[in-house]
A = this chain, B = another copy of it.
């Protein structure tokens, strides 16, 4: 943890300004890519990831699609979004495209975020209540 610190004051209420540890903010926001969460924010995409995760092997789009009551074209778009978010990966094999879960990068991401939040937790740092007056 560093000691660099910035205080951002509220224009209309400078006394109760939120104290921002800039270094910590960056560390946290690096771990908070909203595209990652947006990708997991849809029930159908959650279902796709869960099924693919327990499947344990690369699966083609058509077999993934048949588990859900939505069109395969929609599944294809969902899979692409999950891939762009770093949750899935895919490889072409002949006519087919095989999707699989990026286990390591997901768990690394989740644990990294958890650690970053722990770093910010008041109980774990000395820099609490540094209020500008």
Contacts and interface: CB of A to CB of B under 8 A. Distances in A.
A90 to B, nearest CB: 15
B66 A46 contact: no
Contact of A103 (B18, B45, B53, B117): B117
Interface residues of A, number: 60
A34 to B, nearest CB: 5
Nearest to A47: B29
A107 B103 contact: no
Contacts of A64: 18
A34 B40 contact: yes
A76 interface: no
12 contacts: A16-B59, A19-B56, A29-B47, A32-B50, A37-B37, A37-B40, A37-B41, A53-B117, A56-B127, A57-B128, A110-B111, A110-B113
